[in-house]
Amino acid sequence: MSDAKEKTYRIQGLTCANCAALFEKNVKELEGVQDARVNFGAAKIMVQGGVSIEDIEKAGAFDHLRIRDEKDQRVVHIPFWKQKENVKVYLSAILLVLSWFMGKQYGEEHLLPIIGYGASMIIGGYSLFLKGFKNLRRLNFDMNTLMTISILGAALIGEWGEGATVVILFAISEALERYSMNKSRKSIESLIDLAPREAYIRRGLDEILMDVEDIRVGDLMIVKPGQKIAMDGMVIKGKSTINQAAITGESIPVEKNIDHEVFAGTLNGEGLLEVKVTKRVEDTTLAKIIHLVEEAQAEKAPSQAFVDQFAKYYTPAIIVLALLIAIVPPLLWSGNWIQWIYLELAVLVVGCPCALVVSTPVAIVTAIGNAAKNGVLIKGGVHLEAAGALKAIAFDKTGTLTKGIPVVTSIVTYQGKEEEIIRIAAAMEKGSQHPLASAIIKKAEEKGLNDHAVSVEDFQSITGKGIQGKVNNEIYYVGSPHLFEGVHTNIMNEVKETVTRMQGEGKTVILVGSEKEILAIIAIADEIRESSKEVIGKLHEMGIEKTIMLTGDNPIIAASIGKEVGVSHVKADLMPEDKLKVIKELQSTYQGVAMVGDGVNDAPALAAASVGVAMGGAGTDTALETADIALMSDDLLKLPYTIQLSRKALKIIKQNITFSLAIKAIALLLVIPGWLTLWIAIFADMGATLLVMLNSFRLIKIKTG
């Protein structure tokens, strides 16, 4: 294992998958480079070893690639019509048209149109010929080699006009490919542009406008109304609403007060905020999202691996077929050599694997980018495809189907006033560590009850049952029904019936009483998310065969919540290892199984599932690192959207592969009656590429909700 440092660079102008492979090969051959990997989707290269940017640029000079440091996130946009490669196409097209008119006037065999066609071919195909000749010397038969042989072959047999036309149409095809690839990367570029590069920092009494690179953890950032937030941090002063759509995909702004977390790239509303910076610019949630999405685009999906493998055999097969077409008919059936060589050249043009090579990566880059803009982080093409093939989905209960925050749902009083009972219970619960204590304290706050005025003496925690304490010289108990069975030998039937009914509704029951009598019953429940029932219903409509809720809660509460949200099965009283066992059992029955949780608990189950989906990934490093898919907000409605996007992406990838092969197959069949021309060949190649691109862009239109 080498200890050489690995550095990442951004590539400007990388739009061709074959060129990416050649560029990677060239960089690997540079002196001092031990390894290099090109991420075509994200237009980045990882280089291991000591090498300068200038040397890397020389390795990409064949395709006019420009290299810049990864931290330099400025995206240089040159209007499509002004790009240098396209200017050459305009000039070449003008010469082609002029030559055509001269051919009509003086005849196709005249020197003037031939010179014009030749000039058009050289100007429009100069870079193509350079690549083609280099590849020919190395016996590397890619699309540039095939096109070079075809165009020069057309000139040699006197088809100057068709040769020049093929050059221009191929150049147009490449221009469209550049435009399409750049468009599919726009979603990531828009993420990069989200966070401002400067922020106001207060140091001492001064407010300084600083570059984000110079801002340190602990600095005080001033965020004015209407400004974008430049860094992740914690609000220490002020109140406002923040539009977090860029990070979480939430359409409704979120209220932020003191001690609330804010993220870089989000938009401040009307309030003035003072924010303590908690992360450096390279560690912000937005930076992690960008990094993970770019890494995801480098991962090859199973369909892409198939296409790459297929292309290895496809191109040599086309070359062999073309040679047979040129040689066999003239030798065996005394065919016209010029006619069959012409058909051979047309077959080579048809055989260019452009459309096939881009059929998968463009769809994957577009889908993953669209998901990121909508608050869903899909960490690779393999997970994108797996999500589209899901048949069963398991949900953790707490924090996933429910909000994970216990609240008081109802109070039944038997003796005394409700407000006084709640005040006493809240005062006693302040000394408790039980998770349900917060629900009672919060209820007292909502009612505006001053529990601070209540003095609790001789406080004692009764393990597993509840608490007791003395208020105004009288002993009170707050706890489970089991606690009161020990305190009161006879509990009223009315109380027992109410407790049984509430537990059957999935609520946790807390009793409040004195040594003499039971004063009240407090029902507490973990609130179900408003969207849970809708999401489960949508998943069943989409054809998910089984939805199952996994929880450590008791079976009565679990069954009640499961029935309310509509899952098909419920498993209760589970430890983390039990959840893992359930996932493995599901996988033996169903091919595709997802586990949806919070990304912190149930890590084994998330890892074992075909797709691990983490809820609320924003600001949660564990969720971003462990999950295959992270829903950046706590919005469960993102799950049906993700499955829909994945299925659509799978469908489009299959369509793209079918389109690209079918169009070429139809064009090749035209060889039999001798109808295939260079014009038809290049239009078939360009048409297939354009069709694949446009089809992939349909993924941009898929929205949440």
The structure tokens 């589209």 sit at 388
Contacts of 501 (CB under 8 A, 6+ apart): none
| Active-site residue (options: 63, 396, 553, 685) | 396
Quick one: how far is CA 687 from the chain centroid?
A: 29
Nearby residues of 564 by Cβ (< 8 Å), 6 or more positions away: 506, 528, 533
Q: Which of 333, 347, 284 is nearest to 668 (CA)?
A: 347
DSSP-derived secondary structure letter, 13: S
The answer to whether residues 394 and 606 touch, using CB atoms and an 8 Å cutoff, is: no
Q: Does 396 participate in catalysis according to the annotation?
A: yes
| Dist. CA 535–CA 549, nearest whole Å | 13
Whose tokens are 């029955």? That residue is 589
- For 375, the token pair is 């608050």
Helices (H), 138-271: 143-156, 160-192, 245-248
* Euclidean distance between CA atoms 586 and 605, whole angstroms: 11
E strands along 400-501, which residues? Answer: 402-413, 457-462, 466-471, 474-479
Q: Read off the amino acid at residue 114.
A: I
Q: Cα–chain-centroid distance for residue 412?
A: 48
Which residue matches tokens 């001690």?
259
Report the candidate in 440, 469, 474 with the shortest Cα–Cα distance to residue 456. Answer: 469
User: How many angstroms separate the Cα of 215 from the Cα of each of 202, 203, 228, 276, 449?
Assistant: 11, 11, 16, 11, 44
Quote the tokens at residue 105: 């006037």
Main-chain dihedrals φ then ψ at residue 414, nearest 5 degrees? -115, -35
- What does the DSSP assignment read for 92-141? HHHHHHHHHHHHHHH-TTSHHHHHHHHHHHHHHHHHHHHHHHHHHHTT--
Evaluate whether 631 touches 616 at the Cβ level (below 8 Å).
yes
Distance CA 211, CA 202 (A): 13
How many residues would you count in the chain?
705
Please give the positions annotated as active site: 396
